[in-house]
Amino acid sequence: MSRQRQVILDVINESCEHMTAQEIYERARQRMPSISVGTVYRNLGQLAAEHIIFRIIATSGPDRYDKNVELHGHLICDRCGSVMDLPCPDLMGKIESQFGVKVNSYQLSVYYICDKCMASRKNKGA
């Protein structure tokens, strides 16, 4: 594994957040000032393709990256793009038993407005 890829992976694994590529780049650059934004994007694409990390495709705003590749969903704020993990431990079993299929994987994204954005919205309307 290249030193650049290891730095990128370390940044992701040490964070509790679902970071954007730009956020990952900024943190990686603190550790390796010579790293380029193109290198970060290229490595993120490869790491996601290899299922080492999970790419959360956003409908508005930049995609985010998750170190947790176990099957789970995401709650995504429509306003600010913040992401929270959504555990769905029984989802696959219910789908398999109800439809008689074998689920290999799934991607579940639930969109909502987070408390912070809701409060901001109320303050602007007041």
- 1 and 63 in a single domain? The answer is yes
pTM for the whole structure: 0.80
pLDDT in tens, 18-50: 999 999 999 999 999 999 999 999 999 999 999
Highest mean pLDDT among 4-18, 68-82, 104-118: 4-18
CA 68 to mean position of chain CA atoms = 9
- 50 and 81 in a single domain? The answer is no
107 Cβ contact partners less than 8 Å away, ≥ 6 residues apart: 73
pLDDT at 61: 82
Angle subtended at Cα 43 by Cα 87 and Cα 82, rounded to the nearest 5 degrees? 35
Taking the C-alpha atoms of residue 54 and residue 49, their distance in angstroms, rounded to an integer, is 9
Q: How many domains does the chain have?
A: 2
User: For residue 117, what are the domain limits?
Assistant: 70-126
Q: Which of 68, 86, 118 is the last residue of a domain?
A: 68
pLDDT category, 125, cuts 50, 70, 90?
A: low
Question: What's the CATH number where 122 sits?
Answer: 3.30.1490.190
